[in-house]
Structure 1
């Protein structure tokens, strides 16, 4: 369900964690009960993340009363509480403590069969042991089932309660006890499989430290992360995890960011570089200025978004929810007809057909069907997050698998987004290339042009000192270049057109040919010279990512019909890069509105189309695409908030993995739904020859639940 806008704006919004959910139906019932509370405007349960969002005012006692039918425990959702709960879940109580009731019921059942074997079928003590097994093992089931029956609410617990009471009434005490125990085992396995699927997010919660070493008033003190404020200086020693998001103010080190971005290779960090909570400082001592509170860190934001995503219903799940709504009452009607029609109209045996009717009730229990989709979605989204891909909901997970066309922005997506000097050629052999480059760098250090940084970076890489070069009469020639005087000689750096204006001769044919060749490769060319001669040329380009060509090739292998680059860059540069990476189409010199129009056309032509961009400049196109995919969302709130999918590590290679994971998720969901329904149908067909028993009914239901759960959990192991 979607929370109404009125409720969202008019009421307080509070998020709570919930312990004790056994199934999706129980979660739905809890949501319904909370909505009935006096001070609550609306509520939304996230079964995948085991959370509830309450719009309005309700105490924890009231919420726990609403979940009393399942003995639910409710706690406020804070980072500290979340981490504590994660640790509790990871280190649970011993098996016998958690399942003592089930073990007791199983023991009573075993003794019942032993007494019946020794003393015969109608042994009173055996019947009492079976009855005790039913009461002890099914107490919580009956408490809910009977209440539902009185309210005419039909869910799986209602079905099971009616079936077990019916079995006792017709004297099938042993089979009633077996059904109770097998149903309890089925619920325990369902809970276990959901816990396993949530584990990847719980592991993330416990990644960030609970305390930080900060410098205050000249003293280094250890404080809880909740007490750290923006602006604090945090000390991170080698081998320690970084507790808060911040910027390095002193020191350098390599940091393992796998917990956030999925990158396996550590990243070098030095002054002014951003670091994230939960990442591991490997080598040097770092002093970090804290930039975000604990609740706002990248990892906290990531956990929140992933949990919200796991709660979003995918189209397949919406179908299952709608189907289950009509399915359960239908099963009740079918079971009643099986029990009543043959004895009334065909002279059948009442005892035999009542038994078959009860078996139909049991086999109709929709456990496998209900768990089939949410378990798969939770497993897949958790796996994606572990690999550095944030998928914002089941609907996007499904849509990624159906993509036919993908559009890419150029800068920062297919390219690195950082200009570099690719060519430096002096025209005369006797020219000292390093001395000339020092003059070029000194001039560019005074420039505001975006490409100047590339020249200065190359000077640093090649250890060319330029700070001692004295420049006089520096001037910027708007739209053309720069000039300045060094040792009495005036140097010019700018476009080829600048030199055509300076001198009638301009460029020689050979120089013009070199420039044309470099421009055809998608590079920006600058000429260096004086009033009388051309001395050198520089070519600067935004380097193509090493992975881009391989990613595009893999996408075509996966059956993506069209890969297109949409960029505002000039057509020549766009075509050169498109050819280099192997795109099927390239469009250059586009305005944002034109990019938007192209995305709309792609959706018309191909049905499902994605846009991959930086999440800021490409916002309109990202919003118009079937799926908007943002690059490099780690630490970028805009990308995390606006895109449907975020590649956290700025890593394009995650895109083929995401498509593969999405398609496998779709296959498994379809398999699970088909299998769950097929098992029910086959078991129901056994009614015709009269072969269906309570044993077969509950085993078929439990078997289907188990297989569906394990099939869905396979999505946690999908690799790149």
Structure 2
């Protein structure tokens, strides 16, 4: 019995598992371990090749190891330092992480896992050693041995016809015994309706009606199909786990006045590392010396390098292009951006999509139903209509193989896993299949303005000079703003890269501006009203200020020796792709709204340039209210914000998307996160969702369509056991390969 979960007293133990290859493996392990005394909850991650067991008291680790090993999987207890479970992917209430399902039961005959062959099992199900080629895995050896035995049986049977039945029986047993053993162990562990059980019944039945040769061939085809399925499915795991390989294994660290090379996973927060041109950056950090173009494509999917300098953030796994950098480490290896993304996707795959949960529930009825239909086909015609027993038993056995739920049940999780992985590689992080599926239903997107549609910091947009050139106006203003950290001052200093005159006796005047002596000239920089108190402004100058202010810009007036010398206009400008991102959403039939606390004039100016409707001067609760109003209009609403002051609206929306609030916020808040600040990525998430759901539809059509065709042809006597197993394993391979096409999705 599963014990009730007491969150206050629950402890967790983590295990590494070798041999898992799909959701069915996870469910079989989940079901078996939940039956153990003291276990409160179980969470199995296929991509992470791991299992976390929650328990209220002491846990008998040996029992867990034996229970999983009996199913044919390798298992070891994870090191204590790795037992911490990430809380990044917390699904919304109602997410069903452990819905029972029955394909779900399929072992995949010894899957080759990157998790390696963990100790605790020597069964054929255990995969290859970590990094080992698939053809060296135990399941490949079993498949080749069984195929060789079948070929030998054909040769011996041809030379010695009297021994034909016995040699084919021996060849059959080579593959069937491991399959039957796994079926028995799964039944004892609480999962009786598995592909192994159906295969065992069909093979034994075929022997009983003297179809031994065909039964042996069917077992070989089954193993080959499973082998091909495992190779295809492994690509999804390799795609996301390959992210971890982007981080270099070593780092050059500055210590005791020199540099030394140490393992990257030994770096501590505060260490200063040296990154040479062409090297990958080994840790998240902040540049303390140097500047360079940084290629962030491995983390964000952005192919254009970014120029970064002192005080700017860099991510582990990104590439330093052309300059020597010194970087202060801000996160240890287990907590860097790449590690968080990998953990997020691994855990997200445990949160099932609604379609996946439906297929799981359907399979619980479907698999026993197949057994009933097979039995009826085998028994009714001979009993009711006097049909030939051998003929109809043969057809019934073929229906068992046709009805195997492998392709049907794997159709959804394979596509979801591939979709989550390919999104993560492009900086599109979604916390589970339910979120990924939900994006296709979005009909309205509410954007925050500052830091979301805009870059989050003002820039100089206009310089108007009176009696001086623009460069001279900017130089005087920059001289006054030296040393200031005010956002408007920073914008002026960023704009002025040269010709800054020294500031003499500069002093700030609270609420009005800053004034000082620059090269013997008394200079003031402040608001138009404050400048008007120090100099006479012409009508044309006042109209210029009003015009720029009407465009949503903040205008500072420069006064030199009592005369207006120029105007400097600044604004938090839209992100470069904001207009294109809004247009892309409209092209998908999605309404876009901007919600901002800024003044109406500034909001309307930004909205007009982007082609989006605006709601301005809003408090956080107002944004939440507007999201509710949109939902009451019948719209499915996504809210995009920085994950901090937009928290109420993010929570109220059907899907909350964090963007522009920093890596930690982006990963730990809302339902989805845009790792790179691209407005276009919202439309890409919608497109990815639609692509995944279209892929799932194709998979289900293939899985059920092939079964329907072969069901009819089997009843009519056109096809038999061979085509039946091809209908199952062939469909499984086709479905998995089709899902893997999503790994090539480019958005």
Does 1:465 pair with 2:500?
Answer: yes
Give the equivalent residue in structure 1 for 2:180: 142
Per the alignment, do residues 433 and 181 of structure 1 end up closer, same or farther by CA in structure 2, a change over 3 Å counting? closer
- Superposed CA deviations along residues 316-373 of structure 1, whole A, max 9, x for unmatched, are 1001111111111111111111122222222222222211211111111101011101
- Partners of 1:94 and 1:718 lie apart in 2 by 28
Contact 2:503 2:517 in 1 (8 A): no
Per the alignment, do residues 433 and 112 of structure 1 end up closer, same or farther by CA in structure 2, a change over 3 Å counting? closer
- Superposed CA deviations along residues 45-82 of structure 1, whole A, max 9, x for unmatched, are 12344321221355765433222244212245679999
Does 1:637 pair with 2:664?
Answer: yes
Does 1:107 pair with 2:107?
Answer: no
Q: Secondary structure at the match of 1:16?
A: strand
One of 566, 575, 598 as aligned partner of 2:595? 566
Report the alpha carbon displacement of residue 390 of structure 1 after superposing the two structures with TM. Answer: 1.4
> Which has the larger displacement, 380-389 or 97-106?
97-106
Q: Secondary structure at the match of 2:723?
A: helix
- Partners of 1:451 and 1:22 lie apart in 2 by 55
Give the equivalent residue in structure 2 for 1:658: 685
- Partners of 1:60 and 1:518 lie apart in 2 by 70
Q: After the TM superposition, which residues 124-523 of structure 1 pair with which residues of structure 2 at under 5 Å, given as runs?
A: 124-148=162-186, 153-427=192-466, 429=467, 431=468, 434-445=471-482, 449-459=486-496, 461=497, 463-466=498-501, 468-471=502-505, 474-478=507-511, 480-484=512-516, 491-499=523-531, 507-523=537-553
- Superposed CA deviations along residues 238-283 of structure 1, whole A, max 9, x for unmatched, are 3322222222222333332222111212222322222222222232
Give the equivalent residue in structure 1 for 2:90: none
> Which has the larger displacement, 127-136 or 42-51?
42-51
Report the alpha carbon displacement of residue 405 of structure 1 after superposing the two structures with TM. Answer: 0.9
- Partners of 2:3 and 2:480 lie apart in 1 by 60
Contact 1:83 1:206 in 2 (8 A): no
- Superposed CA deviations along residues 574-622 of structure 1, whole A, max 9, x for unmatched, are 1111111122x11111111111111122222243211122222222222
- Superposed CA deviations along residues 108-143 of structure 1, whole A, max 9, x for unmatched, are 222333454566xxx442212211121111222110
Does 1:92 pair with 2:133?
Answer: yes
One of 731, 734, 740 as aligned partner of 1:704? 731
Q: Size of the alignment, in residue pairs?
A: 703
Q: Secondary structure at the match of 1:514?
A: helix
Give the equivalent residue in structure 1 for 2:695: 668
- Partners of 1:623 and 1:4 lie apart in 2 by 31
Give the equivalent residue in structure 2 for 1:581: 610
Q: After the TM superposition, which residues 74-85 of structure 1 pair with which residues of structure 2 at under 5 Å, given as runs?
A: 74-75=75-76
- Partners of 1:84 and 1:349 lie apart in 2 by 50
Contact 1:210 1:243 in 2 (8 A): yes
> Which has the larger displacement, 286-295 or 16-25?
16-25
- Partners of 2:4 and 2:296 lie apart in 1 by 38
Contact 2:143 2:223 in 1 (8 A): yes
One of 615, 623, 628 as aligned partner of 2:656? 628
- Partners of 1:413 and 1:475 lie apart in 2 by 32
Does 1:597 pair with 2:631?
Answer: no
> Which has the larger displacement, 164-173 or 57-66?
57-66
> Which has the larger displacement, 147-156 or 621-630?
147-156
Report the alpha carbon displacement of residue 172 of structure 1 after superposing the two structures with TM. Answer: 1.0
Q: Secondary structure at the match of 1:206?
A: helix
Q: Secondary structure at the match of 2:282?
A: coil
Does 1:613 pair with 2:650?
Answer: no
- Superposed CA deviations along residues 446-469 of structure 1, whole A, max 9, x for unmatched, are 66643121122222x2x1213x23
Q: Secondary structure at the match of 2:487?
A: coil
Give the equivalent residue in structure 1 for 2:53: 54
Q: After the TM superposition, which residues 543-562 of structure 1 pair with which residues of structure 2 at under 5 Å, given as runs?
A: 543-560=573-590, 562=591
- Partners of 2:490 and 2:395 lie apart in 1 by 81
Contact 2:65 2:76 in 1 (8 A): no
Does 1:678 pair with 2:705?
Answer: yes
Give the equivalent residue in structure 1 for 2:34: 35
Give the equivalent residue in structure 1 for 2:94: none
Contact 1:422 1:541 in 2 (8 A): yes
Q: Secondary structure at the match of 1:265?
A: coil
Per the alignment, do residues 546 and 73 of structure 1 end up closer, same or farther by CA in structure 2, a change over 3 Å counting? same
